[in-house]
Structure 1
């Protein structure tokens, strides 16, 4: 495969765009199909497809937010109106959010951690796919990814858990890069013990 300088440069400069800076337009139906195709081209040992995706778009975004606000209020009866409004807007203003579920399958050759990592790759491919199509994205987890009632309401089935929600839309701001770790602080070369 020949070198791809444009892809290299993208990977060297990729930066998430926070939900507050994602607006309409979002992907068209044809672009969404391409995006989902990109997302699901991930390592999948055993070809067992240990993940699922849930799409939140249109009025469903507001409905999900209302349900989240109700659950949040159950959990914290002292939650004020500002806190409830935060919950109502969890899937706004981005025009599209895709929830990625880890859906592990019993398989003696594929440990659950491998299956979970495959689901994480789906989420990251959604981010890459969004940028490849000219949009911006942000992969987040919030309390509702880890709350059984909220996760079920958002589409998780038995034995499934969200690895995150990828918000996608058109960027309204250029996000400055954040500091990245120095490679010499996080990379080591392995040497055989005693060598």
Structure 2
């Protein structure tokens, strides 16, 4: 399988089991973040690894955030998040160490965080692991972000659930790139996907 084939075979999954990457393998996976596009070399990404007994503690903080943001949150939604954050083999909180005073626009700092997270997802796949990037309302809760070490103006870009894909997990069918690419010839482009 070529490197391009590997990239084309990557997919997000939360059908994960133990083990999660550890030691030198985890270090190498996380090091791929350092290769992300990063205007100004600000390195705005920060990662908090949550595993073992810390998972249900984080799940409790997630539930508290949900209730703080929406006191009417559906019990089924609360239970689902409680379960997922308590049982994933590893969770990586995607921190954003933002510098609003810097000449680099905040959007570019945030995009760098996203690019670094994508490198990590690709590296997980290449090394035989899997993951999925999740966000939702709690990812934008400044109180939860501060509890994880990212007080304002910093914040969260979400969480990666990380582990080993369960046997026989299947990649979803993906659309081709047609409809999402257009060649510009001087006039505004139109995309088939938007028709």
- Confirm or deny that 1:8 pairs with 2:25: no
Query: Take 1:135 and 1:168, find their aligned partners in 2: how far apart are those partners?
Result: 7
What corresponds to 1:50 in structure 2? Answer: 44
Equivalent of 1:141 in 135, 143, 151: 135
1:77 Cα deviation after fit: 4.3
What corresponds to 1:30 in structure 2? Answer: 24
Equivalent of 1:71 in 55, 62, 65: 65
Query: Relative to 1, partners in 2 of residues 1:84 and 1:188: Cα closer, same or farther, differing over 3 Å?
Result: closer
- C-alpha contact 1:64 1:154 (8 A) present in aligned 2: no
Segments of 5+ residues of structure 2 without an aligned counterpart are 189-195
Equivalent of 1:190 in 162, 184, 193: 184
Matched residue count? 187
Query: Relative to 1, partners in 2 of residues 1:78 and 1:48: Cα closer, same or farther, differing over 3 Å?
Result: closer
Query: Take 1:187 and 1:84, find their aligned partners in 2: how far apart are those partners?
Result: 39
Query: Take 2:96 and 2:66, find their aligned partners in 1: how far apart are those partners?
Result: 23
TM normalised by structure 2 equals 0.84
Query: Take 1:41 and 1:185, find their aligned partners in 2: how far apart are those partners?
Result: 29
Equivalent of 1:172 in 158, 166, 172: 166
Residues 20-169 of structure 1 correspond to what in structure 2 (within 5 A)? Answer: 21-79=15-73, 82-105=76-99, 106-108=101-103, 110-169=104-163
Q: Deviations over 1:117-148 (max 9, x none)?
A: 11001111110111122111111112210122
- C-alpha contact 2:130 2:163 (8 A) present in aligned 1: yes
Query: Take 2:167 and 2:109, find their aligned partners in 1: how far apart are those partners?
Result: 35
Query: Take 1:191 and 1:75, find their aligned partners in 2: how far apart are those partners?
Result: 47
RMSD over aligned CA atoms reads 2.3
TM normalised by structure 1 equals 0.84
- C-alpha contact 2:96 2:150 (8 A) present in aligned 1: no
Query: Take 2:65 and 2:110, find their aligned partners in 1: how far apart are those partners?
Result: 26
Query: Take 2:87 and 2:125, find their aligned partners in 1: how far apart are those partners?
Result: 18
What corresponds to 2:191 in structure 1? Answer: none
